[in-house]
Amino acid sequence: MNAETDSTAHHEVVRSAGVVSLAVLGSRLTGLLREIVMARLFGAGMAYDAFLLAFRIPNLTRDLFAEGALSSAFVPTFAEYLVRKGQAAARELANQVATALIVVVGSLCLLGIFFSPGLVWLLAPGWVSEAAKFELAVRMTRVMFPFLLLVALAAQAMGILNACQQFGLPASASTFFNLGSLGFGLLIGFGLGPYLGLPPIEGMAYGVLLGGMLQLGGQLPSLWRRGFRYRPQLDWSHPGLRQIIRLMAPALLGSAAVQINVLVNTNFASTVIDPLRGPDGPVSWLSYAFRFMQLPLGLFGVAIASATLPAISRSAASGDLEQFRDTLSRSLGLVFLLTLPSSVGLAVLGRPLIGAIYEGGRFEPYDTIQTAHALTAYAVGLAGYAAVKVLTPGFYALGDARTPMLVSLCSILVNYIAAWSMTRRAGMGHTGLALATSIVMLFSVVALFWKMRERLGELHGRRLASSLLRIGVASAAMGLVVAGCCQPLETQLGAGRLASLVQLALGVPLGAGCYYWLCRALRVGELESASRALAVPLARLLRATAANGPGA
């Protein structure tokens, strides 16, 4: 494999990542809009705590069957079928997987609806003494559990389209969910709710279910145009389906470990007693903070991972490990270039960012402060979280689901020790739980990188370390400049909305310009790739829009 071919493969990943980033930007912005409306209407109290817990329960299994094990096992296998056996065999495999999902995940949804009280008790034992909060969480869990099946099928549709080199529309599917869940939720909760006897927050739960239908339905026309129309087929002896199940088995254990970490942290959060708010607030503050984490994580981590997986799957299928190695290493460099400054920016500008966007209505200044503390702690692990998104699918592309599973299982112990230490010993409350999540992500990325390096012999580690050092220096210097210029403004203007807006208006362009100049001065090689990732796909999307196309 020569350098020109490696460069071509990398540029393909960069262009695809740029397309996904632009699409994810729309998704994250609409998601943020949804959170703003929820914050203004419900604040950080009993109702929204119950909604978040109810939504989290199907989300736990969603990560198992959709964004986690299924995607990582399905995409490499489906790409292999496309490359080696043609589209007809790939269509058959897609039908086999979809039917299996309907049978297995549909049954799981029915069980989840029946056992919802036990699930709520398991996640939030501290709420048992609060009957109204507990019962509300149980009702909304039952409403939202079928969302799991819808999002699992949507994830499979996304995998098919990504393997066919269509990235824009699948990455935009979450936009359909955000807008649909918000619109339907407001209609049911505030329009029809008084006539149906539903509290407004419960109407938002029905909105989630209808938004999931839009997330799946929005991708179906593109699948049909590519010749993929669902036909019920189920043969458990089908070699492709068996390969996916074989890859998913350890992947399920690995993803289950991640969900155990979520379970542990939610359990800890339900017992946190805030000095001012008591038991109401910590779950909501963590959720609001993580919403800001999802913007750079989706724009950079998920986007680059989505573009990298089909490319490295094709390299693995053709036995070209040099191209696999080069593509994976360059993708990690791109992740660090974009997420490290994002981490610093969220830590430095977290309070004005949250104050400008969320504060108002039932979301009070105290909520802003507590959410900002959690955001700073989450930001510590952002780069690790994004890098894990890229590294984990790499093992599945190589047919190795065991290594990510073992790392995830080890993370259970790391998470429990960190969460217990931060909340019970250090007394950091919900902020300690966010920091424990960051510690787990940093542990995971180090362990996965070390094992991948063992597997491939080398992973261009010196080049990556050099880039990481330069990016770290540039990010730290940027943070000092922004903090030095913006934080005095809070002293002069106070902590209101005006001060937040002024700090953001000054800090964001100052930080971006400072970071870009420092990276150029330090000769960070990934900077040119990032520029292409934003410029080339934007032009393609504009041309596609002008031609009334479906997306990139």
C-alpha span between 471 and 37 (Å, rounded) = 36
**Mean residue pLDDT across the chain:** 81
Report pLDDT digits (tens) over 51-62. Answer: 988 887 777 666
Structure tokens at 315: 């390299």
Q: Measured between alpha carbons, how far is 383 from 304 in angstroms, rounded to an integer?
A: 13
Output the CA angle 59-382-419, nearest 5 degrees: 65
Q: Count Cβ neighbours within 10 Å for each residue of 124-161 and write b for 16 or more, e otherwise.
A: bebbeebeebbebbbbbbbbbbbbbbbbbbbbbbbbbb
pLDDT at 13 over 50: yes
Query: Cβ(175)–Cβ(110) under 8 Å?
Result: no
Which of the pair, 164 or 440, is modelled with greater confidence? 440
Which residues are registered as beta bridge partners of 278?
274
Specify the higher pLDDT residue, 8 or 478.
Answer: 478
The answer, yes or no, to whether residue 474 has pLDDT greater than 90, is yes
Cα dihedral 396→398→402→407 (10° resolution): -70
Question: Nearest-CA neighbor of 54 among 177, 126, 131, 142?
Answer: 142
Structure tokens at 475: 């990010």
**What is the mean predicted confidence (pLDDT) over 206-228?**
90
Q: Which of the pair, 319 or 484, is modelled with greater confidence?
A: 484
Give one DSSP letter per residue of 302-329, joined into a string. Answer: IHHHHHHHHHHHHHHHHT-HHHHHHHHH
The DSSP string of 202-253 is HHHHHHHHHHHHHHHHTTHHHHHHTT--------TT-HHHHHHHHHHHHHHH
Average pLDDT of span 377-385: 91
Q: What is the DSSP string of 61-77?
A: HHIIIIIIHHHHHHHHH
Separation between Cα atoms, residue 268 and residue 340, nearest integer Å? 28
Is 99 a residue whose pLDDT tops 90? yes
Task: Band the pLDDT of 542: cuts 50, 70, 90.
Answer: very low
| The pair of three-digit structure tokens given for residue 55, joined into one six-digit string | 């939504």
Q: Report, as an integer, the average pLDDT of 138-142.
A: 93
Sign of CA dihedral 303, 537, 295, 37: negative
Cα-based angle 527, 532, 533 (whole degrees, multiple of 5)? 95
Give the CA distances from residue 118 to residues 122, 136, 202, 268, in Å, rounded to whole numbers and listed in that order: 6, 14, 20, 17
CB count in 10 Å sphere of residue 88: 10
Q: Per DSSP, what are the bridge partners of residue 274?
A: 278
For residue 546, is pLDDT > 70? Answer: no
b (16+ CB within 10 A) / e for 241-268? bebbbebbebbbbbbbbbbbbbbbbbeb
pLDDT at res. 500: 85
pLDDT value, residue 16: 58
Residue 333 pLDDT more than 60?
yes
Q: Which of 407, 344, 414, 421 is closest to 378 using CA atoms? A: 344
The reported pLDDT for the residue numbered 64 is 57
Average pLDDT over residues 283-294: 82
Q: Tell me which DSSP letter residue 274 carries.
A: B
Residues 6 or more apart whose CB falls under 8 angstroms from that of 85 comprise: none
Say whether pLDDT at 430 is over 70.
yes
- How much is the average pLDDT of 221-248? 87
Rounded Cα gap, residues 421 and 430, in angstroms:
12
Please, which pLDDT band fits residue 20 given cuts at 50, 70 and 90? Answer: low
Residue 274 sits at φ, ψ, to 5 deg, of -75, 140
Lowest mean pLDDT among 25-29, 281-285, 417-421: 25-29
Taking 60 as the threshold, does the pLDDT of residue 536 lie above it?
no
pLDDT at 150 over 70: yes
Mean pLDDT (whole number) for 264-275: 77
| Comparison of pLDDT for 16 and 27, the residue scoring more | 27
State mean pLDDT over 366-376: 90
Type of residue found at 503:
Q
CB contact at 8 A, 371 and 342: no
Whole-number pLDDT of residue 2 = 52
**362: part of which helix (H) or strand (E)?**
none
pTM of the model as a whole: 0.69
CA–CA distance, 276 with 458 (Å, rounded to integer): 52
124, 54 Cβ separation under 8 angstroms: no
> Phi-psi bin for 107: left (phi > 0), alpha (psi -120 to 50), beta?
alpha
Task: Using pLDDT thresholds of 50, 70 and 90, give the confidence band for residue 113.
Answer: very high
Which residues have a Cβ under 8 Å from the Cβ of 96 and sit 6 or more positions away? 233, 234, 235, 238, 240, 241
- Asked if 324 contacts 479 with a C-beta cutoff of 8 angstroms, the reply is no
Q: Give the pLDDT band of residue 398 (cuts 50, 70, 90).
A: confident
**Confidence at residue 258, expressed as pLDDT on a 0 to 100 scale:** 62
pLDDT at 292 over 90: no
d(CA 251, CA 256): 8
| Extents of the domains making up the chain | 3-453+460-546
- 202, pLDDT greater than 60: yes
pLDDT at res. 259: 64
Assign residue 143 a region (left: φ > 0; alpha: ψ between -120 and 50; beta: otherwise).
alpha
Chain mean position to CA 246: 25
Query: 360: which strand partners?
Result: 363
